[in-house]
């Protein structure tokens, strides 16, 4: 159980630290970060996921998310917004703070509450650890 708690915390931290955010410079971001998927909002307000995106010239190329055989080529002039998963500093800070509170509460519960098990192993609410010496 002790090994599972940190593992779960690490797994949750990787999920909570990235959110879908608008790209200010889609061409530069896609070239530098090579995201698996970007979400394109067209000027007519439809949205589609584009897997394996790349920008060449004034167009976005890739495959329709969920259907890799359907290739996409979109002029950037028809695109209103491009979003991609990016690190979210605020959520990361909140997650770390939450994990800290969780860890402190567990340490208090396991270490700080004392024990009411006497020297012979029986439960005794009036037990004092100094009695065993």
Q: What is the pLDDT of residue 112?
A: 62
Residue 12 is assigned to a structural domain of this protein: no
Query: Higher-confidence residue: 120 or 42?
Result: 42
Residue 122 is assigned to a structural domain of this protein: no
What are 109-119's pLDDT values in tens digits? 777 655 555 55
Residue 58 is assigned to a structural domain of this protein: yes
Residue 13 is assigned to a structural domain of this protein: no
Token pair for 1 = 């159980």
Cα–Cα dist 58/98, whole Å: 44
What are 3-62's pLDDT values in tens digits? 455 666 565 555 557 788 999 999 999 999 999 999 999 999 999 999 999 999 999 999
Residue 118 is assigned to a structural domain of this protein: no
Specify the CATH number for the domain of residue 90.
Answer: 2.30.30
What percentage of the chain carries pLDDT values higher than 70?
70
Q: What is the pLDDT of residue 1?
A: 45
CA count, 13 A, side-chain hemisphere, 67: 6
Q: What is the pLDDT of residue 86?
A: 85
**Minimal CA–CA distance to 94: which of 7, 6, 13, 10?**
13
What is the DSSP code (8-state) at residue 31? H
What are 52-86's pLDDT values in tens digits? 999 999 999 999 999 989 999 999 999 999 999 98
Q: How many domains does the chain have?
A: 1
Q: What is the pLDDT of residue 120?
A: 57
Q: What is the pLDDT of residue 104?
A: 79
Question: Can you tell me the mean pLDDT for 89-114?
Answer: 74
Residue 119 is assigned to a structural domain of this protein: no
Residue 11 is assigned to a structural domain of this protein: no
Residue 109 is assigned to a structural domain of this protein: no
Q: Which domain holds residue 71?
A: 20-103
């Amino acid at each position: 159980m002790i090994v599972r708690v940190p593992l779960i915390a690490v797994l949750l931290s990787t999920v909570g630290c990235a959110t879908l955010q608008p790209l200010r410079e889609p061409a530069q971001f896609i070239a530098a970060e090579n995201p698996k998927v970007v979400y394109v909002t067209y000027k007519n307000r439809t949205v589609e996921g584009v897997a394996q995106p790349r920008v060449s010239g004034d167009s976005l190329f890739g495959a329709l998310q969920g259907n890799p055989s359907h290739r996409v080529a979109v002029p950037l002039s028809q695109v209103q917004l491009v979003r991609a998963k990016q690190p979210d500093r605020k959520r990361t800070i909140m997650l770390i703070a939450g994990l800290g509170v969780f860890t402190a509460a567990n340490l208090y519960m396991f270490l700080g509450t004392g024990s009411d098990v006497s020297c012979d192993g029986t439960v005794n609410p009036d037990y004092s650890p100094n009695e065993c010496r």
